[in-house]
C-alpha cells in the first residue's frame, strides 16, 4: 500500500472558507458601474408560430436601452450538439412555455420587465403534443423540422443494445416478470438560479461570467453566434451554486443573450433568473415509460431481459441523444444474461424540454430494471440480495454489450458491505411478519453499474496546467468547473502529492477560457478521472524539471534523490529546501510552467448493431433503504439508508462522502415527492412551496462506505462518484415500500396516493401561475 501524504487523507475544501464567510461572489452578487439588467420575453404558449415580433415599442419604455431577437445573432443563434436545434432566442416558432423570444436590457429590472411587456409579439397557436405515447402517431402535430431520412419529425432517435434473442430465452424461463414502469420529470433545484454577466472589452469583445457547467462550451456558442474570435470571447466561471447537469444549454442561451446585449450597448449586462423563471424556462430530467421483461430459471439464474422504453425529450433535443444512449447501455442493470435486448426510442413533445441531469438517463432506467429484478426474485422465492449476488457482474464477465470486464469490478463487495452494515437478513426476515395495522416497515436493495466519463459519446480528454511563480506560489488551471462536488480540491491534492509540497502552496484559478485549456464538458462525473489525470501529468512534468535541478544542485543522479517533507536530499548532503531547488531550476533556465493532457482509453460503439465497448470503466454500487409506511396516510418515512460504492481509490474522502449523502438525498426526493407536472405544457409547480425537495427532517442518517478497487488508468487508481450515488435511490426506496405494504408503486414518485390507494389521482391544473410569473419581477 503506497503511503500518500494527501491522497485519501482528510483535507479542507479549497473554496470552503470564502463560502462560510459569505464572501464568495456568485454572478448575482456582481454590481458593476453602469450595469444593465436583462430580462427575456418568454412564450406563454406551448407551441406557436411567431407571426409578428416588433421590439420598437419596447425601446420607447423609459430605462430600456436595447432589445434583441434571434435576428441579432448569426444564423439566428442556432446551436446545440449533436443536434443543432436550439436558438439563442426563438426563431420562427416557440415549442414550449417559457421559451425565450426577445431579450431586453434596461437600467433597472423593473424597466426591463416593462420593456418585455411592450414588445409586440403575435403568436399563432399550433396544435401541441403532450403525451409521449402519441408523439409518433401519423397525425401528431409536427414539432421540429422534417427529417431528411423521412422518419417521423417527432422521432429523435433509437438506442438499442442487442445480445442474442431474449424472446427465445424468455419462453424457456421458469419465471418471467412483464411489467410497466414510469418515471416523471425532475427539476434540478439548484439553490442558485441561472445567471450570466457580460462585460464589453475595450478590444471590442466580451468577457462573460457564466454560472454554468462548461465554460469552453459557453465561449464556443458566444464566438459562433456573435462572430467573435477565440480571444475576443472570454468566459470565466464564478462559483456555481449547484448545477447537477442543469446549468448547461439553457444558461448558454443566457450567456449568449447578455453577451449580445453587452456588445450592443457597450455596457455590462447581467441577467439572473427568479425561481419561477428558472423553473418554467429550464430543462428537466426527462420522463420515461418502460416495459421490462426479465426471466430466470428456478435456481435463480437470470437468463433474459427485454427492455423497451419511450423517453420524452420535450421540445428540444438538448442532451437527449446522449442521455438516451447512456440509459440504453445501463437499462438491463449490472447483470449477466444469456440474451438481452434494449430498445429505447426518444421523441419530441411540448412538455418543456429535457436535458442533462445527474445520472443522465440512469435514474430513469434503474427505476424500471431494479424493480423488475426485485419482482422476479420475489416470484422465485429468493432473497433479492442473494439473487443480485448470484447474477451480478464480476471480474472477467462479459457484459450484454460484448465488453469483458478486466479490472476494478467491486459490485459483489458493495452488496456484501451494505448487507452487513444494514443487518439485512434479520430485518428482511422480521419485516416479512408484521402485525401493526397502522405502520409497516420494509427494507429494499438495489445494485448498480454506471459507466465512467463520456464513454463512446465523444472525444474524451482533458488538459491541466501548473506553474511556479516568482514568489514560489504554485497555481493550477483546469477547464473543468467545480459546481459543488470538490474537483478543485481534488486537483490541488493531486498536485501537492505529485510535487511533494505543502498543499497550502497551491492555488487553483477559477475556470477561465483565457487561462485554462479546453478540457471538454464538465459532465458525466469525469472531473476526477479526466481532470485529475491531466493535473497529475502536468505536475509530473514540472516535478521532473525540479528533480533535475535538485540532482544538479546536490551533485547526484535523479534516482538517488530523496525527499524529507518538501526538502530534497542527496546521498551525502544536508537537506535542500524546495525553494532553493526552485531557484536553482530558474537559474538553469528550466521551465517552471507545464501542462498535462490525458486522453481516455479508446472505445467504440456500433449504434446500429447495438454492440461494442461503451465505457472504459464502470463505477459499481449497492444501496439499501429501510422505510416505515403509515398505512393510514400513505406517508413513507425513510428510517435508514446504506450505500456502498466502488469509486476506485478515493482521493478526497470529505468530498466523496458528500457526494453519497447529497446523491441519496436527491434520489429520495425523486422517489417520494418530486414531480414536474406539466398540464397541457404549463408547469404547475413553479417554486419550492409546491415543488418539494427533501429538507433536513426528510433525510435519514446515511451510512456511506467505499469499496476501493484500484483502477489502473485512474489518477492514483480513482474512478468517479458524483452521479452514481443518486442513480439507484428511487428503486431502492420503492423496493422497501413494496416489502412494507405488499404492494408495488410502479410510477414515480411514490407519493401519498400511490402508496395509500395504489393509483394516481388526477389533479386539475391551470396555466395561470405560469403566465403571471412570466410577467412578474
- Grid coordinates in use for 392? 451480478
- The answer to the question of residue 25 lying near another protein (CB under 8 A) is yes
Q: Which of these ranges, 24-32, 172-180, 464-472, 586-594, lies near another protein under the rule CB under 8 A? A: 24-32
Give the footprint of another protein on residues 628-657 (CB under 8 A).
654-655, 657
Q: Are the beta carbons of 649 and 707 closer than 8 angstroms?
A: no
Nearer to another protein, 620 or 657 (CB): 657
Nearer to another protein, 190 or 366 (CB): 190
- The answer to the question of residue 687 lying near another protein (CB under 8 A) is yes
DSSP H/E element including 184? none
Give the footprint of another protein on residues 74-103 (CB under 8 A).
none
Rounded to the nearest 5 degrees, what angle is found at the Cα of 25, between the Cα atoms of 21 and 29?
A: 115
Interface residue with another protein, options 189, 448, 462, 730 (CB under 8 A) = 189
**What x/- string results for residues 325 through 344 when contact with another protein is judged by CB under 8 A?**
--------------------
Nearer to another protein, 333 or 484 (CB): 484
Least gap, CB of 769 to another protein (angstroms): 12
- The answer to the question of residue 201 lying near another protein (CB under 8 A) is no
Q: Are the beta carbons of 141 and 127 closer than 8 angstroms?
A: yes
Give the footprint of another protein on residues 136-165 (CB under 8 A).
none
Burial class for 238, CB neighbours closer than 10 Å (0-12, 13-18, 19+): buried
Q: How far apart are CA 254 and CA 81, in angstroms?
A: 17
Least gap, CB of 725 to another protein (angstroms): 9
The DSSP output letter for 147 is P
Half-sphere exposure of 666 (CA within 13 A, CB side): 28
Interface residue with another protein, options 502, 661, 677, 756 (CB under 8 A) = 661
Task: Please list, in sequence order, all residues whose beta carbon lies within 8 angstroms of the beta carbon of residue 757, skipping any fewer than 6 positions away.
Answer: 634
- The answer to the question of residue 664 lying near another protein (CB under 8 A) is yes
Q: How far apart are CA 346 and CA 328, in angstroms?
A: 11
Nearer to another protein, 61 or 263 (CB): 61
Nearer to another protein, 210 or 296 (CB): 210
Helix segments in 40-122, DSSP class H: 56-59, 109-118
Q: Give the dihedral sign, CA 190/194/200/205.
A: positive
Least gap, CB of 701 to another protein (angstroms): 7
Interface residue with another protein, options 202, 697, 761, 768 (CB under 8 A) = 697
Closest CA to 760 of 180, 199, 286: 180
Nearer to another protein, 333 or 663 (CB): 663
For cell 419550492, the residue is 688
Helix segments in 202-319, DSSP class H: 215-226, 249-265, 275-281
Interface residue with another protein, options 24, 580, 631, 635 (CB under 8 A) = 24
**What x/- string results for residues 228 through 257 when contact with another protein is judged by CB under 8 A?**
-----------xxxxxx-------------
- The answer to the question of residue 695 lying near another protein (CB under 8 A) is yes
Give the footprint of another protein on residues 392-451 (CB under 8 A).
none
- The answer to the question of residue 20 lying near another protein (CB under 8 A) is yes
Least gap, CB of 205 to another protein (angstroms): 27
Q: How far apart are CA 662 and CA 671, in angstroms?
A: 14
Nearer to another protein, 55 or 189 (CB): 189
Least gap, CB of 550 to another protein (angstroms): 35
Least gap, CB of 485 to another protein (angstroms): 7
Q: How far apart are CA 381 and CA 387, in angstroms?
A: 10
Helix, strand and coil content of the chain, in percent to the nearest 5, comes to: 30, 25, 45
Interface residue with another protein, options 76, 688, 753, 756 (CB under 8 A) = 688
Range 143-163 burial, b when 16+ CB lie within 10 A, else e: bbeeeeeeebbbbbbebbbbb
Give the footprint of another protein on residues 266-325 (CB under 8 A).
274-275
Q: How far apart are CA 350 and CA 16, in angstroms?
A: 41
Interface residue with another protein, options 447, 693, 733, 750 (CB under 8 A) = 693
Size of the site for another protein (CB under 8 A): 57
Cis peptide before 82 (omega within 30 of 0): yes
- Grid coordinates in use for 323? 442521455
Give the footprint of another protein on residues 471-500 (CB under 8 A).
483-486
Least gap, CB of 435 to another protein (angstroms): 28
- The answer to the question of residue 33 lying near another protein (CB under 8 A) is no
For cell 423609459, the residue is 62
Nearer to another protein, 35 or 136 (CB): 35
Burial class for 203, CB neighbours closer than 10 Å (0-12, 13-18, 19+): exposed
- The values of phi and psi at residue 338, to 5°, are -75, -35
Which runs of E-coded beta strand occur in 274-390? 287-296, 302-312, 339-347
Nearer to another protein, 11 or 554 (CB): 11
Q: How far apart are CA 168 and CA 147, in angstroms?
A: 35
Least gap, CB of 693 to another protein (angstroms): 6
Task: Please list, in sequence order, all residues whose beta carbon lies within 8 angstroms of the beta carbon of residue 224, skipping any fewer than 6 positions away.
Answer: 74, 79
In angstroms, what CA-CA distances link 442 with 195, 368, 626, 747?
43, 19, 6, 18
The residues of the shown chain that bind another protein, judged by CB under 8 A, are: 12-13, 15-26, 28-29, 31, 188-193, 239-244, 274-275, 483-486, 654-655, 657-658, 660-666, 687-689, 693-697, 699, 701-702
Amino acid at each position: 500500500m503506497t503511503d500518500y501524504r494527501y491522497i485519501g487523507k482528510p483535507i479542507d475544501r479549497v473554496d470552503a472558507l470564502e463560502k462560510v464567510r459569505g464572501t464568495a461572489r456568485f454572478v448575482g452578487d456582481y454590481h458593476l458601474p453602469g450595469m444593465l439588467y436583462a430580462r427575456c420575453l418568454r412564450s406563454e404558449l406551448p407551441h406557436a408560430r411567431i407571426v409578428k415580433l416588433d421590439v420598437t415599442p419596447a425601446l420607447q419604455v423609459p430605462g430600456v436601452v436595447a432589445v434583441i431577437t434571434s435576428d441579432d445573432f448569426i444564423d439566428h443563434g442556432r446551436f446545440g450538439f449533436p443536434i443543432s436545434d436550439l436558438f439563442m432566442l426563438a426563431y420562427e416558432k416557440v415549442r414550449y412555455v417559457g421559451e425565450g423570444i426577445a431579450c431586453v436590457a434596461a437600467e433597472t429590472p423593473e424597466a426591463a420587465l416593462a420593456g418585455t411587456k411592450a414588445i409586440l409579439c403575435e403568436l399563432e397557436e399550433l396544435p401541441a403534443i403532450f403525451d409521449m405515447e402519441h408523439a409518433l402517431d401519423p397525425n401528431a402535430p409536427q414539432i421540429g423540422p422534417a427529417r431528411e431520412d423521412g422518419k417521423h419529425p417527432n422521432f429523435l432517435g433509437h438506442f438499442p443494445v442487442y445480445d442474442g434473442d431474449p424472446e427465445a430465452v424468455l419462453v424457456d424461463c421458469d419465471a418471467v416478470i412483464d411489467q410497466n414502469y414510469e418515471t416523471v420529470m425532475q427539476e434540478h433545484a439548484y439553490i442558485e438560479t441561472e445567471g450570466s454577466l457580460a462585460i464589453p472589452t475595450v478590444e471590442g469583445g466580451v468577457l462573460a461570467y457564466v454560472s454554468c457547467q462548461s465554460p469552453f462550451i459557453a465561449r464556443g456558442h458566444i464566438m459562433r453566434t456573435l462572430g467573435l474570435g477565440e480571444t475576443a470571447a472570454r468566459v470565466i466561471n464564478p462559483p456555481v451554486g449547484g448545477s447537477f447537469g442543469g446549468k448547461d444549454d439553457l444558461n448558454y442561451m443566457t450567456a449568449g443573450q447578455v453577451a449580445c446585449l453587452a456588445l450592443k450597448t457597450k455596457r455590462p449586462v447581467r441577467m439572473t433568473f427568479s425561481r419561477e423563471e428558472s423553473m418554467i424556462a429550464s430543462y428537466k430530467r426527462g420522463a420515461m415509460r418502460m416495459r421490462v421483461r426479465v426471466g430466470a430459471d428456478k435456481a435463480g439464474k437470470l437468463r433474459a431481459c427485454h427492455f423497451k422504453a419511450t423517453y420524452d425529450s420535450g421540445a428540444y433535443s438538448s442532451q437527449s441523444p446522449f442521455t438516451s444512449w447512456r440509459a440504453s447501455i445501463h437499462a438491463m442493470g449490472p447483470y449477466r444474461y444469456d440474451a438481452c435486448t434494449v430498445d429505447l426510442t426518444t421523441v419530441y413533445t411540448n412538455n418543456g424540454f429535457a436535458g442533462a441531469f445527474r445520472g443522465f438517463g440512469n435514474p430513469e432506467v434503474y427505476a424500471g430494471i431494479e424493480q423488475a429484478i426485485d419482482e422476479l426474485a420475489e416470484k422465485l422465492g429468493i432473497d433479492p440480495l442473494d439473487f443480485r449476488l448470484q447474477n451480478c457482474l464480476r471480474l472477467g464477465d462479459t457484459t450484454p454489450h460484448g465488453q469483458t470486464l478486466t479490472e476494478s469490478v467491486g459490485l459483489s463487495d458493495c452488496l456484501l458491505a451494505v448487507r452487513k452494515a444494514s443487518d439485512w437478513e434479520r430485518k428482511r426476515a422480521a419485516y416479512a411478519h408484521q402485525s401493526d395495522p397502522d405502520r409497516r416497515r420494509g427494507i429494499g436493495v438495489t445494485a448498480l453499474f454506471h459507466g465512467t466519463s463520456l464513454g463512446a459519446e465523444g472525444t474524451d480528454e482533458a488538459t491541466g496546467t501548473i506553474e511556479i511563480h516568482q514568489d514560489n506560489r504554485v497555481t493550477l488551471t483546469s477547464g473543468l468547473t467545480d459546481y459543488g462536488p470538490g474537483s478543485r480540491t481534488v486537483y490541488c491534492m493531486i498536485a501537492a502529492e505529485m510535487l511533494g509540497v505543502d498543499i497550502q502552496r497551491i492555488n487553483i484559478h477559477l475556470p477561465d477560457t483565457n487561462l485554462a485549456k479546453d478540457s471538454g464538458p464538465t459532465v458525466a462525473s469525469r472531473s476526477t478521472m479526466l481532470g485529475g489525470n491531466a493535473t497529475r501529468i502536468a505536475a509530473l512534468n514540472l516535478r521532473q524539471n525540479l528533480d533535475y535541478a535538485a540532482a544538479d544542485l546536490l551533485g547526484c543522479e535523479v534516482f538517488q534523490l530523496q525527499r524529507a517533507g518538501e526538502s530534497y536530499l542527496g546521498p551525502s548532503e544536508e537537506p535542500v529546501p524546495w525553494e532553493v531547488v526552485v531557484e536553482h531550476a530558474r537559474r538553469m533556465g528550466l521551465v517552471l510552467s507545464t501542462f498535462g493532457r490525458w486522453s481516455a482509453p479508446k472505445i467504440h460503439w456500433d449504434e446500429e448493431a447495438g454492440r461494442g465497448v461503451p465505457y472504459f470503466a464502470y463505477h459499481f454500487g449497492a444501496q439499501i433503504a429501510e422505510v416505515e409506511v403509515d398505512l393510514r396516510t400513505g406517508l413513507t418515512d425513510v428510517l435508514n439508508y446504506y450505500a456502498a460504492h466502488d469509486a476506485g481509490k478515493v482521493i478526497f474522502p470529505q468530498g466523496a462522502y458528500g457526494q453519497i449523502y447529497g446523491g441519496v438525498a436527491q434520489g429520495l426526493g425523486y422517489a417520494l415527492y418530486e414531480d414536474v407536472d406539466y398540464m397541457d405544457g404549463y408547469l404547475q409547480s413553479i417554486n419550492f412551496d409546491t415543488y418539494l425537495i427533501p429538507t433536513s427532517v426528510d433525510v435519514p442518517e446515511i451510512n456511506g462506505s467505499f469499496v476501493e478497487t484500484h483502477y489502473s488508468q485512474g489518477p492514483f487508481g480513482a474512478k468517479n462518484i458524483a452521479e452514481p450515488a443518486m442513480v439507484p435511490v428511487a428503486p431502492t426506496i420503492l423496493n422497501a415500500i413494496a416489502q412494507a405494504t405488499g404492494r408495488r408503486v410502479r410510477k414515480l414518485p411514490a407519493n401519498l396516493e400511490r402508496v395509500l390507494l395504489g393509483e394516481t389521482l388526477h389533479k386539475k391544473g391551470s396555466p395561470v401561475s405560469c403566465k403571471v410569473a412570466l410577467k412578474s419581477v
